[in-house]
A and B are shown apart, each in its own frame.
Chain A
Amino acid sequence: MSASVLYDEPGPRARRRILAWSIVSGLVLAGLVAAGLWQFAEHGQLDARRWEPFTQWPIWEYLFVGLRGTLEAAAYVAVLSAVAGIFLALGRLSTVRPLRWLATGYIEIARTLPVLLMIYVTLFALPAAGINLPLLWKLVLPLTVANAAAFAEIFRAGILSLPKGQSEAALSLGLSQAQTMRHVVLPQAVRFVTPSLVSQLVSLLKDTSLGYIVAFTELLYRAQVLSAYNHLLVQTFLVVTLIYLVCNGSLSFLAYRLQRVRRRVKDVDD
């Protein structure tokens, strides 16, 4: 449903009203922005000397090292939890009862535990038990545990969305269960849920900001170190917010485009 069906093609009066509303809301918005800027200026946060460091390459280079850490951690988590997610989804849909219970139990538990709690466990509980993971894995392991469940649910939705005829046809051609999954069901299911997978990637990239707590060199942690050194808290964290917005925004845009492509392909099929 498109939004425009909610109202008619505006006539002259409606157009005037929309214009009036546009002007009023534009003015309110401008007022709010101005108040914010004034508040910032009042406390000297808009001074040129406070923003000047961010015109220099070394500062950006410093932050980009953090961004590389973010992307590295995200890549590990993405690959590991996607692989684990496929197996968990297959387990949850399996006809073998213990396997199904195990996968279902894992997914339901991992989905309802806060990631930070798991991070505290790897930070403080596992070392006490003699397991001291490298720094990267203290971040990647809890995130993988949590995201594997999310990926599993996405894959399961994809597998269930396929018409039953697909697997029935494959089985009647004499393919085994495993072959049916591998050659017929999974390729179509994965393609079907690609937009959701990309959205999950955004969520996972956001989760790596928890490296701030682990003291793993990722973007937010780097920002904290940088701001402790240059005392430009407001500027540093605003810049970091912007970097996150650009990275994840482009991923979200990709997901949106993929969804549009898929919808168009479906329209052609119908």
Chain B
Amino acid sequence: MQALLDNLEPLLRGLVTTLWMAVVAAAGSLVLGVVVTALRVSPVPVLRGLAFAYVQLFLNVPLLALLVLFVFALPDAGLLMPLQTTAVVVLIIYEAAYVAEAVRSGVNTVAMGQAEAARALGLTFRQSLRSVILPQALRAVVQPVGNVMIALVMNTSLFAAIGVVELTAAANKTNLVHAQPIPIFVGAGLTYMALALLIGMGTGALERKVAILR
């Protein structure tokens, strides 16, 4: 316990890093994910194919392999960004594929009649997507997208493997110095659980608020 309290400062600094990276990545992947979904149902075949390829690529390649590729390999091709920026960018494009999958499942839950009614009223593709389909789809996917966000927070821990000192790396470093694994790792684990719980409760409340009662 003492080891945990003595090292509260580096651990908290790690937590702050985890938090800001998770928040930025969450916002970015939500926006990108919705855009990818819109492309995926669009009438333009090239864009549809592009969105499909994007989702398949990032659903099937491990995040760690992407992080290693972007952080260690691509600088050789002259693509060099600050470490933390690279990490967040990779997480955004990775999780956006999962957001897109979740939102698409939501689009599929919107009843066929809704789209037909929108078309019958003469709304264009963009209008029917924006004012009829997406508002309903997004409400239906609050919970699945919340789960993606929880996974995103868990995945920020992989940044430890490429040298970003976030919560997991801070916990590991503190343990290597003090050899007090139990309080340190339990503390870090409880923090992640608290974050997941917070997101879960947040999405739960949001879902109750926006859910469509049928």
Residues of A in contact with B (beta carbons under 8 Å apart): 1, 3, 5-8, 10, 14, 18, 21-22, 25-26, 29, 39-40, 42-43, 45, 109, 111-117, 120-121, 124-125, 128-129, 202, 206-207, 209-210, 212-213, 220, 223-224, 227, 233-234, 236-238, 240-241, 244-245, 248-249, 252
How far, in angstroms, from A234 to B68 measured CA to CA in the complex? 10
B128 touches A29 (CB 8 A): no
A-B contacts at CB below 8 angstroms, number = 167
A22 touches B46 (CB 8 A): yes
21 examples of A-B residue contacts, CB within 8 angstroms: A7-B119, A7-B125, A18-B45, A25-B50, A39-B78, A43-B76, A112-B192, A113-B154, A116-B161, A117-B168, A120-B160, A206-B60, A206-B62, A210-B64, A212-B68, A234-B73, A236-B73, A237-B68, A244-B62, A248-B61, A252-B56
Residues of B in contact with A (beta carbons under 8 Å apart): 40-48, 50, 56-57, 59-66, 68-69, 72-74, 76-79, 107-108, 110-112, 115-116, 119, 124-125, 128-129, 133, 150, 154-158, 160-161, 168, 171-172, 175-176, 179, 181-182, 185, 188-189, 192-193, 195-197
How far, in angstroms, from A117 to B175 measured CA to CA in the complex? 12
Say how far A130's CB is from chain B's closest CB, in angstroms: 12
B185 touches A121 (CB 8 A): yes
Contacts of B64 in A (CB 8 A): 209-210, 212, 220
How far, in angstroms, from A170 to B36 measured CA to CA in the complex? 47
Contacts of A7 in B (CB 8 A): 43, 119, 124-125
How far, in angstroms, from A111 to B153 measured CA to CA in the complex? 12
A212 touches B69 (CB 8 A): no
Say how far A116's CB is from chain B's closest CB, in angstroms: 4
Option from A114, A233, A241, A248 in Cβ contact (under 8 Å) with B154 = A114
Contacts of A116 in B (CB 8 A): 157-158, 160-161, 168
Say how far A230's CB is from chain B's closest CB, in angstroms: 12
Given contacts A25-B47, A117-B168, A117-B171, contact A125 B181 (CB under 8 A): yes
Given contacts A5-B112, A45-B77, A116-B160, contact A245 B68 (CB under 8 A): no
Contacts of B43 in A (CB 8 A): 6-7, 10, 14, 18
